[in-house]
Amino acid sequence: MGGERRSPPRSPLHLGPWQVNMQYDHKRIEQEWRDRWKAEKTYHVENDPSKPKYYVLDMFPYPSGAGLHVGHPLGYIASDIVARYKRHSGFNVLHPMGYDSFGLPAEQYAIQTGQHPAKTTEINLARYREQLDRIGFSFDWDREVRTSDPNYYKWTQWIFLQLFDSWYDTAQDKARPIAELIARFEERGCKGQDASVLTGDIEEFVGEFDAAEWKAFDERTKQLVLQYFRLAYLSDAWVNWCPALGTVLANDEVKDGVSERGGHPVERKKMRQWSMRITAYAQRLLNGLDDLDWSTSLKESQRNWIGRSEGALVRFALTPNPSPKERGGMPSDPQADSEGKRNSATERPAYLTADFKSASELQQFARDNRKEPTEAEDRLWQVIRGSATGGRIRRQHAIDKYIVDFVSLPKQLVIEVDGDIHEHQEDEDSGRTHMLQELGFEVIRFTNQEVMADAIAVRESIIVALSKRPDFNTTRHSPLSSGEGQGVREIEVFTTRPDTLFGVSFLTLAPEHELVSILTTDERRAEVEAYVKTASNRSERDRQAEVDKVSGVFTGSYAKHPFTGADVPIWVGDYVLAGYGTGAVMAVPGGDQRDWRFAKHFGLPIIAVTEGADIEKEADERKDATICSEGFLKGLKVPEAITRAIQELEKLNAGEGRINFRLRDAAFGRQRYWGEPIPVYYKDDIPYAVKEEHLPLILPEVDKFLPTEDGEPPLARATDWHYSPLVGRGAGGEGHYPLETTTMPGWAGSSWYFLRYMDPKNEGRFASPEAIKYWGQVDLYMGGSEHATGHLLYFRFWTKFLHDRGWLPFDEPAKKLVNQGMIQGVSQSVGVAYVSLDHMVTKENRGMRIPLREGGYFEFMNSHKFLRYNEEGVPIAQTVLMEADAKLLRDFEGMNRLYAQEINVPVQVVVDGTLNVVDYMKSLEGQKHEDAVFVSEAGVWHEGKFTPFAGAEPLGVRTKPVVEKMSKSKLNVVNPDEIISKYGADTLRLYEMFLGPLEQSKPWDTNGIEGTFRFLRKFWNLFRISGDPNAPSSTDAPVASTHRVDLKVDLDETEPTKPEFKALHATLKKVTEDIEHMSFNTSVSQFMIAVNELGSLKCHKRHVLEPLTIALAPFAPHIAEELWHLLGHKTSVTLAPWPKFDEKHLVEDNFSYPISFNGKTRMVLELPASLTKEEVEAIVLANPEVQQRLEGNSPKKVIVVPKRIVNIVV
RNA sequence: ACGGACGUGGCGGAAUGGUAGACGCGCUGGUCUUAGGAACCAGUACUGCAAGGUGUGGGGGUUCGAGUCCCCCCGUCCGUACCA
């Protein structure tokens, strides 16, 4: 194998056996140095506190099976240059690499092939590593981490447990151990502020209780209450369910209604689900952005994703008439869990993200409406609440005109507890039961005595009854209303413009809003239900596509305006999103264009709210307008009016200032196999943490990677998926409890990996405090902008959390972040048409004609020569490929029964814009267009034969280049391995950097690479290297042996001349500055300039070439290392100190002054650089050419900027 | 629609408010070669025979001086997308 690497350079100069001029042989050099670096652990990094540290990190790659294309290493090369540069500059540099090796693609592949994902992942990693190794990165592979390694995910699980064991204390504004919350409950219970649950997607909230009540709760109830506070929590939440992938996805994993990976449709589904309370950190995630050195676009993306908006929550009281109380419903219990549909992350005051009633309001409510729940009801509630029955039971829920005791909505099962009242009202009860059955509900009844005697037995009966019911899971269609245990009193809306309150002419509810059915009057019910049904049947995509269509319907009900007391009609409209704010808006057609369009469409009143608005034409959304509404806001500017309106609302207890976030809590459980097991077991259906000493909880073996027949996640297939706190994981039995069967999402492992690199082998902690203190934050984080709202948000969230709990001294992971741009591919496209049979053989018997570029036609005659036949010998449609020339295509499209389009052909079979037909045909063997007819300007190809038009030479089909994303499916992928074997890794590295600014997207053009390759060869030749090409190469010797001795340099040891020094130091200066500014394309240019200059100066001096070699080392490490050793050094160039540039070599005696007249440069005068302004002016004006240009006029003004320019104003 | 980035030769792209087009590709001509898809030399924004003139998406402004700063418009790309 060494022999092959030693193969002679492409054009050896046959000067004789000895002292041959040795040409740059990248294959030999690169292989040799890669081996030696590995053997000598050149890039090994110690945690060495005596040296300043620098942490350069690349975003965690997920190695798919597809392998790298030339776009992938771009960021790695840039970060490697910085890492190497910092090392030369005296820093101890941490520049690690590892793999995000859990994930969906490997699992999908496993399902398809039956192979264990660990195995296919291993293969992918090996291939990825091999490709990385070829590029010459300075990674310390001893620090490699893999998220799927139990030694790694042990700590991912540990962090999960920390989150499970924490709650967010809004007073201290940080996460605290849950024990502190328990202590607080024991001391003062849960009241007011404390009772506020903080979350986006959670739909329940904790009632108030005092210390005594807390202590009286049984263990189960306590645990259920704590669920509402934990940062990792289990709840019934609306999730993005992807049926094709069989799992839940986080919001950032869904794009345009389909999964980001694979593009499968995603639907909204309500599921019991692990979530992460990232919403608690919304404000801090926002604030933290200000101090980060990240690109503005990335910070903007995060700001938009978090979506903070300030405004007010306004309560519109409902007019009495249609309220359920008056319609015969029973009064309700405000202390029971109030659902109040919180999809929003509405907060108050700072970080509270759930909606909740203010204490005063609750009390008032309680006074008005309190219904003492019977003891039996309460008893039963304690045992069936939450998820005790396997699904959620709601209490005191309004159905049609009744309020039932308990109901399971998905199962449409009503549970009634009959006390004395019912016994006296049997007639009425049977009517009620009948009515509920009409509505599709089953009703089961228990007596007070039954419940009091054995509530658990009653629960079991309920569970049995539930299990017999089909799963309706159609909450939004059910004729249900306001939520658990609460009569409808008001509608809450969120608005950013409370100053426009006087312009409210109607309210609009989202079709999914829970008040819709209860507010709908009987005469409007049919219409409203039809509308809601249509709206809900439309997919997210349809809805998005039809944003300009106005639709809606009136419910028949009215609300009261908080200021004027006027009746405000309540409408339903699908322009209101259920998921944002409260799912209801106050419509101000005069101030909001969406409301305006709705009002215009339905003829609703449009009230002017601002001065100077032309409300007939459009709404006035200006934020600097003056309010014109009569009343206390009149004459105020918008910002002042907002403040004033909020004050007035608060006075009336009709609303208050609010901050609303768009950010939702993140779904954390995946119904998949290939991920970290969530270290939780269930006792009595309550999740408990697996003990730390039992971590890692190893991913179990399963027979198949598919869900079970009951739809349980794959982990449920494992036979040993039980846990005992005493002995750990086991097969079950006494004292063993079932373990959680969902696994963590891909982002779990990547949210903290930067910490593990600091101390990757630590068995006692995720990383030692010393290592964390030393390495600290990432100094440079390099990666793609596609992670803006996913990884980078979770990454920051976990860091802040670990900081809160005292594990980290900093609360942001990466100070500086750079997004490398994409390298785009250049696709080559041709036209394709499918010519139908009847067109070919009929058409007035003329056969098929193809119009040609220069006019005229090529005719497929009636010979059927080009027809394709199927097995029965019947001719079928023929594929025709032709030049992707617009005219040609157009002509095809215009012809009957033809279908024409453009397709890409592999870039490998295109040379200089011409498709090599023969190669292409070969690549298509057995595929779609295998027997296509190719029509080019010169003739027609068919079955490998060329039929020329008169006099034409055989020619391929001309292709059209299109710049687009580089991807396998677009057939435009350029593989780095091919580039490396032809030009070497150093050339690849230089060229990728040379292509353009790092952060910009730019197309890859392999043709341009020759320039950088030539540069390296020229640089090599400056060293005048000679040797014996037949001498044994050190590549045949053990890798650790000393460097080969058969090459030598012929350098000039004398002191460099001034121009030589200048060429060197100008380069050192520019390159140093450019690396600091990450402007690598210009540093490569500068190296080229230097080499060109030194070449024309015929400079072969050690004192010039040696520093230049060090400066080149970060960019082209292999050649630099080789030359460094040829210069006589015994240690790696990596250890050489960075050469300092000296300004004195750049000082010129003379300066060529551009002389401009009125700013336009007309001539250049070389003058001594030491001259003062006045001297320059005098000399310039005395110059005859200047005089000639002045034509005797004296200049109005002369501007002299020393060593820069002279400008003469005439 | 909103937010962000950007707009310079045939192409990728240079240019602290100071000679626009560095460097590279491509192209043209030449040298050397059996040959060139090797190497080297020269040229290459546009226009004009030339002197010269014109040029950084368009228009306006600030300045002695604008690719660069400010305002308006046009266009491209990337996010987000009825967010109240």
Final residue before a domain boundary, out of A636, A661, A686 = A661
Nearest nucleotide to A1208 by CA–C1' distance? B64
- Which residues numbered 748-777 in chain A sit less than 7 A from strand B, measured from CB? none
Q: Give yes or no for a contact between A168 and A310, defined as CB atoms under 8 angstroms apart.
A: no
Nearest nucleotide, CA A598 to C1': B82
**CA A532 – CA A513 distance, rounded (Å):** 10
Return the residue matching tokens 């039956």.
A114
- Residue A827 pLDDT grade (very low, low, confident, very high; cuts 50, 70, 90): confident
- Which of A's residues 158-197 have CB atoms within 7 A of nucleic strand B? none
**CA/C1' separation A445–B53 (Å):** 99
Q: Which nucleotide is nearest to A344 (CA to C1')?
A: B83
Give the pLDDT confidence score for residue A888 in this predicted structure.
52
Percentage of the residues of chain A whose pLDDT score is greater than 70: 78
Reported ipTM? 0.94
A819 beta carbon to strand B: under 7 Å: no
Domain assignment present for residue A579? The answer is yes
Tell whether A814 and A828 lie within a shared domain.
no
Q: Do residues A526 and A645 both lie within one domain?
A: yes
Domain count along chain A? 5
Question: How far apart (Å, rounded) are the C-alpha atoms in residues A849 and A990?
Answer: 50
- CA A822 / C1′ B81 distance in Å: 24
Is the C-beta of residue A577 closer than 7 Å to nucleic acid chain B?
yes
* pLDDT of res. A338: 32
Q: Considering only A54-63, A1032-1041, A1087-1096, A1173-1182, which range has the smallest mean pLDDT?
A: A1032-1041
- Interface residues 534-553 of A with strand B (CB < 7 Å): 543-544, 546-547, 549
Report pLDDT for A681: 95
Is the CB of residue A64 less than 8 Å from the CB of residue A746? no
CATH code (residue A429)? 3.40.960.10
Is it the case that residue A94 has pLDDT exceeding 80?
yes
A1104, pLDDT greater than 90: yes
More confident of the two residues A348 and A1073 = A1073
Contact A743, A672 (CB under 8 A): yes
Instruction: List, in order, residues 6 or more apart from A66 with CB less than 8 Å away.
Output: A968
**How far is residue A196's CA from residue A356's CA, in Å, rounded to a whole number?**
6
Residue A260 included in any domain: no
Q: Which residues of chain A between 1140 and 1159 are close to nucleic strand B, CB under 7 A?
A: 1152, 1154, 1156, 1158-1159
Name the closest nucleotide to A591, judged by C1' and CA.
B84
Query: CA-CA distance, A957 to A832, in Å (whole number)?
Result: 12
**Hey, CA dihedral for A1023, A1027, A1029, A1031, is it positive or negative?**
negative
Residues A645 and A528 in one domain: yes
pLDDT digits (tens, 9 = 90+) for A147-192: 999 999 999 999 999 999 999 988 888 999 999 999 999 988 887 5
> What integer pLDDT is reported at residue A899 of this predicted model?
54
Distance A162 CA to B29 C1' (A): 74
**CB-contacted nucleotides of strand B (7 Å):** 3-5, 11-16, 18-20, 22-26, 36, 38-41, 53-54, 64-66, 77-84
CA of A293 to C1' of B4 (A): 16
Sorted by sequence, the CB contacts under 8 Å of residue A677 that are 6+ apart come out as: A157, A697, A698, A699, A700, A715, A739, A740, A743, A744
CB-strand contact A580/B, under 7 Å: yes
- For range A582-598, the mean pLDDT: 90
A331 touches strand B (CB under 7 A): no
Q: Is residue A565's pLDDT more than 60?
A: yes
Of chain A residues 939-998, which have a beta carbon within 7 Å of strand B?
994-997
Distant-in-sequence, close-in-space partners of A1204: CB < 8 Å, separation ≥ 6: none
Whether the beta carbon of A327 falls within 7 A of nucleic chain B: the reply is no
Predicted local distance difference test score (pLDDT) of residue A879: 72
Residue A792 CB-density burial (10 A; 0-12 exposed, 13-18 middle, 19+ buried): buried
- What is the spatial distance between Cα A966 and Cα A943, in angstroms, rounded to a whole number? 31
User: How would DSSP label each residue in A951-969?
Assistant: TPPP--EE-EEEEEE--GG
Name residue A554's amino acid.
Answer: F
The alpha carbon dihedral of A532, A537, A539, A545 has a sign of: negative
The reply to whether A1019 Cβ lies less than 7 angstroms from strand B is no
pLDDT of residue A1109: 96
Asked if residue A518 and residue A416 are part of one domain, the reply reads no
To which H or E segment does residue A244 belong? none
Q: Is the CB of A1190 under 7 A from strand B?
A: no
Domain membership of residue A832 as a residue range? 824-965
Q: Are residues A453 and A585 in the same domain?
A: no
Nearest to A85 by CA among A758, A770, A779, A772: A779
- pLDDT at position A896 over 80: no
Rounded to whole angstroms, the Cα distance separating A423 from A529 reads 35
Q: At what angle do helices A1080-1096 and A1009-1021 cross, to 10 degrees?
A: 40
Residues A506 and A631 both lie in one domain: yes
A608 shares its domain with A548: yes
CA angle A743, A747, A751 (to 5 degrees): 120
Q: A1203: Cβ under 7 Å from strand B? A: no
Tokens of A895: 């012809």
Helix (H) and strand (E) counts for chain A? 38, 51
- For residue A6 the two structure tokens come to 């030693």
A236-250, A281-295, A411-425, range with the lowest pLDDT: A411-425
What average pLDDT does this structure show over A1184-1191? Answer: 79
Q: Is the pLDDT of residue A1189 over 90?
A: no
Is A15 contained in some domain? no
A962 versus A800: the higher-pLDDT residue is: A800
Cis peptide before A696 (omega within 30 of 0): yes
Question: Is strand B less than 7 A from the beta carbon of A257?
Answer: no
Q: Considering all nucleic acid strands, name the nucleotide whose C1' atom is nearest to the C-alpha of residue A586.
A: B84
Confidence of residue A1075 (pLDDT cuts 50, 70, 90): very high
> For residue A559, what pLDDT is reported?
92
Report the nucleotide nearest the CA of residue A821, measured to C1'.
B78
Rounded percentage of chain A residues whose pLDDT exceeds 90: 36
CATH number of the domain within which A133 lies: 3.40.50.620
- Is the distance between the Cβ of A592 and the closest atom of strand B smaller than 7 Å? yes
Evaluate if residue A1064 carries a pLDDT over 90: yes
Other Cβ atoms within 10 Å of A9 Cβ, number: 17
Q: What is the CATH number of the domain that holds A1172?
A: 3.10.20.590
In this structure, are A90 and A151 located in the same domain?
yes
CA distance to A48, A304, A761, A764, A1023, per residue, from A774 (Å): 8, 34, 16, 18, 41
Nearest nt to the CA of A1196 via C1' is B64
Asked if residue A1201 keeps its beta carbon closer than 7 A to nucleic acid strand B, the reply is: yes
Tens digits of residue pLDDT in A650-701? 999 888 888 888 888 888 988 889 999 999 999 988 899 999 999 899 999 9
- Does strand B come within 7 Å of the CB of A1014? yes
pLDDT tier, A951 (very low <50, low <70, confident <90, very high otherwise):
low
- Report yes or no: A1082 and A1074 within 8 Å, Cβ to Cβ: yes
Q: Is the pLDDT of residue A364 over 60?
A: no
CA A1159 to C1' B74, whole Å: 29
Contact A745, A667 (CB under 8 A): yes
Residue A147 lies in a domain: yes
According to DSSP, the β-strands at A780-783 and A817-819 are parallel
Give the model's confidence band at A133: pLDDT under 50 very low, under 70 low, under 90 confident, else very high: very high
Cβ of A707 near strand B (under 7 Å)? The reply is no
Closest CA to A26 of A18, A34, A14: A34
Residue A248 forms part of a structural domain: no
Rounded Cα gap, residues A502 and A562, in angstroms: 10
Q: Return the HEC string of A1133-1201.
A: HHHCCCCCCCHHHCCCCEEEEEEEECCEEEEEEEEECCCCHHHHHHHHHHCHHHHHHHCCCCCCEEEEE
Answer yes or no: is A1195 CB < 7 A from strand B: no
Q: Which residue is closest, via its CA, to the C1' of B15?
A: A1082
CATH code, domain carrying A567: 3.90.740.10
pLDDT surpasses 50 at A13: no
Q: Are residues A890 and A811 in the same domain?
A: no
Same domain? A816 vs A949: no
Helix (H) or strand (E) holding A1202: none
Q: Is the CB of A1083 under 7 A from strand B?
A: no
User: What integer is the mean pLDDT of A127-152?
Assistant: 95
Alpha carbon of A464 to those of A336, A390, A444, A932, A1195: distances in Å? 25, 11, 11, 65, 103
Structure tokens at A313: 């929550």
The CA distance from A908 to A919, in Å, is: 9
Of A487, A510, A533, the last residue of a domain is A487
Residues A388 and A460 in one domain: yes
Note whether A261 and A66 are within 8 A (CB). no
A1021 CB inside 7 Å of strand B: no
Per-residue pLDDT, A585: 93
pLDDT of res. A1116: 96
A323 domain residue, yes or no: no
Residue A1022, pLDDT above cutoff 70: yes
Residue A167 placed within a domain: no
**Nucleotide lying nearest to A500, CA to C1' measure:** B84
CA distance A863 to A28: 59
Domain boundary among A448, A467, A487: A487
**Strand B contact at CB of residue A911, distance < 7 A:** no
Q: Do residues A5 and A31 make contact, with C-beta atoms less than 8 angstroms apart?
A: yes
pLDDT in tens, A931-943: 677 777 666 777 6
Residue A709 lies in a domain: no
Average pLDDT over residues A821-826: 87
Round to a whole number and report the distance in Å from the CA of A831 to the C1' of B12: 27
Closest nucleotide (C1' vs CA) to A574 is: B82
Residues A521, A472, single domain; the answer is no
Mean pLDDT of all residues belonging to chain A: 79
End-to-end CA distance of chain A: 74
How far apart are alpha carbons A1019 and A984 in whole angstroms?
Answer: 15
A787 touches strand B (CB under 7 A): no
Q: Pick from A1122, A1033, A1040: which is nearest to A29 by CA?
A: A1122
